[in-house]
Chains A and B, each alone.
Chain A
């Protein structure tokens, strides 16, 4: 197994943020259909072990490329730009303000047991994130602006966390 091969190359895809999802899906399935342990279960130990390693790597690569956030983070690193996810917390004030408002709204809905409000927020958040995904692709692929791309990645991470919080709140209410 060639561990130096990057995930884009593994799936025969161009190194870009904009992604042909159908091609990713198709290549994932084609490769998995060959490397998956179930296809090697009747073979020798060494084949089975190799199959597990291959299938694990293919699953990981698929997961990273499928998620716009993980893909952008991965792509930036490949391009030699550390997105500084853990350390850099500088955000535009209006973005932070909006996040804080939303966070309060989630807490309120959670306390009030308002599943409908949370459901609405989930949809709203999903929409905002979709716009963010498009901006990210334009920034990285067309403008080659890595610094701005990293900024968008960090914002997107905030948004994903918030979405997760909304879902957790829904879970708590429904339990």
Chain B
């Protein structure tokens, strides 16, 4: 379908200015990259025509890093250095990880997040994920023929702040400009909804390799509104494999197996699971390094039986999400199935029975998330075409709060709040003359702090001494559109302030990311420099275009003096942007940003007034 494209004011009109943007589904088992090309969302394949990239990274003894199929092919030969399902470790400590004992890795328990000791040194899950993302970035840039403006990275809706932050860090480490972190079920809903012109209440049941999400959405008049979400960030197809693996050990009466044999049997278990999707029984055979020979048959009855509790475990969050949305199963018009694990017949059956309707399977469950992310990325990059005026309203999955006396949690932002969201609450001192306050930010639904996830600790010092209970400390939480939290505390009488971007305890600071990036490019320092410079130049060009376009539409909002100042800032940036002084470019961009702050505020006010006056965008701008 060749539609003529009409851009909105504020966006570039020249066709060659189409910005390269991608959506990346960073999955537990497989990852994909997609883009919008000539108005169509498409998955980008590698040079061999394969769209899926196994989320497997091998750190070889020879210093070589294999990603994807190459790593997967060697996983049972080199289990310790071949990292699979790294997503399960993102933002997680050792004690958070299930089946840790049957994993072949050499874990290093770092604060906040585990690390893995490999032939190439200790790697954090963030670095491993960055290697996967970097591979997809290279694939996309080769396929699209240029540097990417940015990427939308998907995360499980039920990911907490630490897991989201870890994902964003990984993307930055891979040299990607993150346009947005997008919830996987929401991405699927976009792809499904836009494709089918769906309206009404929809549920997205997303059972991936390692995570389960359920989201309830209302689709109406171009708005995708997530009403509630729930899930389990440690439940997925991997767990079904594990049940089969345990069953094989029992059925074949095996003694404890070596890491090598364990990996082999896990692979056999996964193959058997996939085979049972279309067959009644699966033969499983393997010769182990121990000399033992495994030869057993798994029937679909036994498979259903041994995984029954796993399937049941998905229905609890489903009920909860429906109740949070104030709805019941009958209200749901369609259930969109996402994630490779939803191919299992027993999952299809259980979901169908719960909702009383056949689940929707007309999308490729492996690709739909990446496609939805690509559509969102295209929009966020500013490649808006006619008919692209839809909007997404998402929520945070877990409540955010502060620890109060006695180790209790005071919730500040409840789960399923629409983001972005800002909320403030006042606290006070406990002792006479107290001059400092330790604030502990937590996420979760439980009353006791010890049952919630600790996100960050920070201190407000310099409170003037007062009697207990007299000080007014206002704690403000701001959650952005990525679902990431920043917190501030401010003493109300003095205005004394402490501010923190909530970095999970393992904390990658901007400097650390920069240092890691530099390490990664240590053999190609010039490349790194040129890349950074080019990014700054592209960014500067974007900024100038954005401001000029705003001036074209709304110059009347500025006085002559103000206009002159903005023009001067633009001229200054134009003067330095083609040089190679990165700092000068950054400084000039900063100045232009500051110089247009008030202008931006007035434009936003004007826009809201127009929304209220009931006029449609087209009427105003024609």
Interface membership of chain A positions 43-77, coded 1 if the CB is closer than 8 angstroms to chain B and 0 otherwise: 11111001111111101101100000000000000
CB distance B221 to A60 under 8 Å? no
Q: A52-B420, A59-B418 are in contact. Are A42 and B607 (CB under 8 A)?
A: no
Number of A-B contacts (CB under 8 A): 116
Of the candidates A35, A53, A171, the one whose C-beta lies within 8 Å of that of B607 is A35
Pair B393/A57 contact, Cβ less than 8 Å? no
Q: How many chain-B residues does the 8 Å CB contact rule pick out?
A: 49
Query: Do B607 and A170 touch (CB < 8 A)?
Result: no
Q: Which residues of B contact A33 (CB under 8 A)?
A: 223, 389, 391, 611
Asked, given contacts A38-B391, A42-B542, whether A60 binds B422 with beta carbons under 8 Å apart, the answer is yes
A160 at the binding interface (Cβ < 8 Å): no
Counting CB contacts under 8 A, is B520 at the interface? no
Q: Tell me which of A11, A46, A175 contacts B596 (CB under 8 A).
A: A46
- Asked whether A175 lies within 8 Å of B316 as measured between CB atoms, the reply is yes
Chain B residues, CB < 8 A from A175: 316
Contact A38 B421 (CB under 8 A): no
User: For B2, what are the chain A residues with a Cβ–Cβ distance below 8 Å?
Assistant: none
Known: A35-B604, A46-B600. A167 touches B380 (CB 8 A): no
- Do residues B608 and A37 form an inter-chain contact, with CB atoms below 8 A? no
Question: Of A29, A46, A51, A167, which contacts B593 at CB under 8 A?
Answer: A46
Say whether A1 contacts B604, CB under 8 Å: yes
Chain B: minimal CB distance from A87 (Å): 15
Interface residues on A, range: 35 or more
A39 within 8 Å of B (CB atoms): yes
8 Å CB contact of B420 from A11, A45, A59, A62: A59
Residue contact A42 to B381, C-beta cutoff 8 Å: yes
Is B221 a contact partner of A1 (Cβ separation < 8 A)?
no
Asked if A41 and B179 make an inter-chain contact with CB atoms under 8 angstroms apart, the answer reads yes
| A-contact bits for B524-562, CB 8 A (1 contact / 0 none) | 000000000000000000110011001000000000000
> A25's closest neighbor in chain B, by CB?
B220
* Whole-angstrom CA separation of A43 from B11 in the bound complex: 9
Q: Which A residues lie at the B interface, using CB under 8 A?
A: 1-2, 11-12, 27, 29-39, 41-47, 50-57, 59-60, 62-63, 167, 170-171, 174-175
Residues of B within 8 A of A (CB): 10-11, 19, 179-180, 221, 223, 316, 319-320, 323, 376, 379-382, 389, 391-393, 417-423, 478, 480-481, 542-543, 546-547, 550, 592-594, 596-597, 600-601, 604-605, 607-608, 610-612
Can you name 24 A-B residue pairings with CB atoms under 8 Å? A11-B612, A27-B611, A27-B612, A29-B223, A29-B391, A32-B223, A33-B223, A33-B389, A34-B604, A34-B608, A36-B481, A38-B376, A38-B379, A41-B382, A43-B10, A46-B593, A50-B597, A50-B604, A54-B608, A55-B420, A59-B421, A60-B421, A60-B422, A171-B323
Beyond A38-B481, A42-B382, list 8 extra A-B contacts (CB 8 Å): A35-B607, A37-B420, A38-B376, A38-B380, A45-B593, A47-B600, A54-B604, A171-B320
9 nearest A-B residue pairs (beta carbon): A42-B382, A41-B380, A56-B422, A30-B611, A37-B481, A34-B607, A12-B612, A56-B420, A46-B597
